[in-house]
Amino acid sequence: MTLKKICCVGAGYVGGPTCTVIASKCPQLTVTVVDLSETRIAQWNSENLPIFEPGLYDLVKECRGRNLFFSTNVKEAIVEADLIFICVNTPTKHFGKGKGRAADLKYIESAARMIAEVSQNSKIVVEKSTVPVKAAESITNIMRANIKPGVQYQVLSNPEFLAEGTAVNDLIYPDRVLIGGDPSPLGQEAIQSLRWIYEHWVPQDKIITMNTWSSELSKLAANAFLAQRISSINAMSAICEMTGADVSEVANAVGRDTRIGNKFLKASVGFGGFSGFGGSCFQKDVLNLVYLCECLNLPEVAEYWQQVININDYQRRRFANKIIESLFNTVTNKKIAIFGFAFKKDTGDTRESAAIYVSKYLMEEGACLRIYDPKVEEAQLMSELTQPSITDDPDKVKELVTICKDPYQAAQNAHAVVICTEWDEFIALDYQGIYKSMLKPAFLFDGRLILKHQELLDIGFHVVTIGKKLQRSNVHRPIATSLQ
């Protein structure tokens, strides 16, 4: 099939950047990204894009109005397209069967039904959202049950591996592109059509084709392996704190083994927020895998992956407990500055951010939080902290939380500063000035291991971090209480 027009259903963190890169690399294609949300589409058509990604704005400006369009006219874009990417959200189900674990496929289903309802000619439908194995089969069944005469669908799996914060770079230089499809001649033809798009900029040997189920499972497997590494090093961090070992030194030693490698071995306050790589999907994708294993009657395998989640929950809870214990076992009415709310630096995304859980645990103890993040809007931050899974008293949250315009304002008169996101700007702050403006003893909790701890200790801070016990070298410093 010669492709001329493509459409992407879902203008989010995946759909927007992916289609911008396709439009930029394939100028002969007309790419239309559609969404039900009028606000999101208006933002994509404005100077103020709905998501922050380094390099994205320039690419959008280059292509928008030329061969890249953002629209709420979902039906028209589907009717005109030869190939349709489904990039809708697949959050964890909050109710019903599989609650708290299974992926909610209602947005996928409604997109599939819409495609079947309006299409007047044959289409290639590409499942880019992360889904459980066999979702492509369900999409195919829905569409075939509603098929019009003369129309045919080929459903492909093409999971996305981009990480937020580095999305544009990841899309332009992917480690690999997976395309899963039907072994039939029509299925193979559809695979070749999608492959042709990527071949505009991705080397041939990085484009891997396989059967649909392998492709679907590979995405869940990759995220589960990455999450497992984080949980493994975080489990080690707990041992380090009890023994005097330093988790950064252990990670360095372990990572030098070429069979293990040095990436993704940084301890922190938990995934869904950890240094360097993306993660808003980790929690939901591992839960999705656990649920899949249970449905396949593989309880031992389900339990194995569930432990990866359990260690992550444990790490967040452990970090919040360290804060409470260090502040003399009570944080009630104490001012605590939270530096960073996004789940990682260089994104405004807050989904499953570790900051949400640390804030939750501190608010449960009555702490007054003063939160600063350079990219997260107040409305989004408050909506995260007032969700039913976080609080049953949204008014109390509004009372306890103050959003600050800069980190210095957040730290003024605070008992403690807590680093929750590894934004570069936090490394270069005037900590001497921050220390002076805080109540004493002044505590600093580095949940991302990004600060120079000895310098902070020398200033006079009580510094608590993850995976390492810090000792004050200068005994003449003014504060009497020992660290931890």
- List, by residue number, the catalytic residues: 281
Dihedral angle sign, alpha carbons of residues 254, 256, 260, 265: positive
| 354 is a site residue for ligand NAD (CB under 6 A) | no
Residue (89 or 326) nearer to ligand NAD, CB: 89
> Which residue of 6, 7, 8, 14 would you call a contact of ligand NAD, by CB under 6 A?
14
20, 89, 248, 359: which one binds ligand NAD (CB under 6 A): 89
Residue among 93 and 335 whose Cβ is closer to ligand NAD: 93
As given in the structure block, the two tokens for residue 325 are 């214990």
Q: Is 98 in the site for ligand NAD (CB under 6 A)?
A: no
Least separation in angstroms between residue 114's CB and ligand NAD is 6
Q: Considering the complex, what minimum distance in angstroms separates the CB of residue 326 from ligand NAD?
A: 33
**Containing H/E element for 347?**
none
Residues 36-55 that bind ligand NAD (CB under 6 A): 36-37, 40
162 near ligand NAD (CB under 6 A): yes
Q: Does 180 bind ligand NAD (CB under 6 A)?
A: no
CB neighbour list of residue 233: distance below 8 Å, 6 or more residues apart: 247, 251, 265, 266, 267
3-state secondary structure of 426: helix
| Alpha helices, H only, 174-298 | 185-198, 212-243, 247-255, 282-295
Q: State the Cα–Cα distance between residues 374 and 482, nearest whole angstrom.
A: 33
Contacts of 256 (CB under 8 A, 6+ apart): 262
For 214, left (φ over 0), alpha (ψ -120 to 50), or beta? alpha
Q: Which range binds ligand NAD by CB under 6 A, 157-165, 169-177, 178-186, 268-276?
A: 157-165
Residues 99-118 that bind ligand NAD (CB under 6 A): 107, 110-111
Of 92, 119, 130, 228, which lies in the binding site for ligand NAD, with binding defined by CB under 6 A?
130
Residue 129 binds ligand NAD, judged by CB under 6 A: yes
Closest residue to ligand NAD, based on beta-carbon distance: 12
In the chain, the amino acid numbered 216 is E
Nearer to ligand NAD by C-beta: 24 or 288?
Answer: 288
**What is the C-alpha to C-alpha distance for residues 181 and 175, in angstroms, rounded to an integer?**
20
Give the Cβ contact number of residue 143 at 10 Å: 21
> Minimum CB separation from ligand NAD for residue 140, in Å?
17
Q: Among residues 107 and 291, whose Cβ is nearest to ligand NAD?
A: 107
Residue among 21, 23, 35, 181 that touches ligand NAD (CB under 6 A): 35
**454 part of the interface to ligand NAD, by CB under 6 A:** no
Residue 281 Cβ vs ligand NAD, minimum distance, rounded to whole Å = 5
Distance CA 337, CA 396 (A): 18
- What is 381-449 written as a DSSP string? HHHHHTSTTT-S-HHHHHHHEEE-SSHHHHHTT-SEEEE-S--GGGTTS-HHHHHHHS-SS-EEEETTS
Q: Which of 88, 115, 142, 403 binds ligand NAD (CB under 6 A)?
A: 88
Distance of CA 466 to the CA centre of its chain: 21
Minimum CB–partner distance for residue 240 and ligand NAD (Å): 30
113: number of Cβ within 10 Å: 15
Number of residues that bind ligand NAD (CB under 6 A): 28
Which residue's CB is nearer to ligand NAD, number 334 or number 351? 351
User: How near is the Cβ of 40 to ligand NAD at its closest, in Å?
Assistant: 5
Pick one of 83, 87, 105, 464: the residue that binds ligand NAD (CB under 6 A). Answer: 87
DSSP of 83-133: EEEE----PBP-SSTTTTTSB--HHHHHHHHHHHHH--S-EEEEE-S---T
Residue 441: asked if its preceding bond is cis (omega within 30°), the reply is yes
Buried b / exposed e over 238-265, threshold 16 CB at 10 Å, is: bebbeeebbbbebbeeebeeeeeeeebb
Regarding 20 and contact with ligand NAD (CB under 6 A), the answer is no
Helix, strand, or coil (residue 360) = helix
Instruction: Tell whether residue 12 is a contact of ligand NAD (CB under 6 A).
Output: yes
User: Is the dihedral angle over the CA atoms 6, 218, 232, 262 positive or is it negative?
Assistant: negative
Is 289 a binder of ligand NAD (CB under 6 A)? no
How near is the Cβ of 431 to ligand NAD at its closest, in Å? 32
Q: Does 278 bind ligand NAD (CB under 6 A)?
A: yes
> Which CB sits closer to ligand NAD, 217 or 416?
217
Sign of CA dihedral 281, 284, 290, 293: negative
Q: Between 160 and 446, whose beta carbon lies closer to ligand NAD?
A: 160
**Which residue ranges make up the site for ligand NAD (CB under 6 A)?**
9-15, 34-37, 40, 74, 87-90, 107, 110-111, 129-130, 160, 162, 164, 278, 280-281
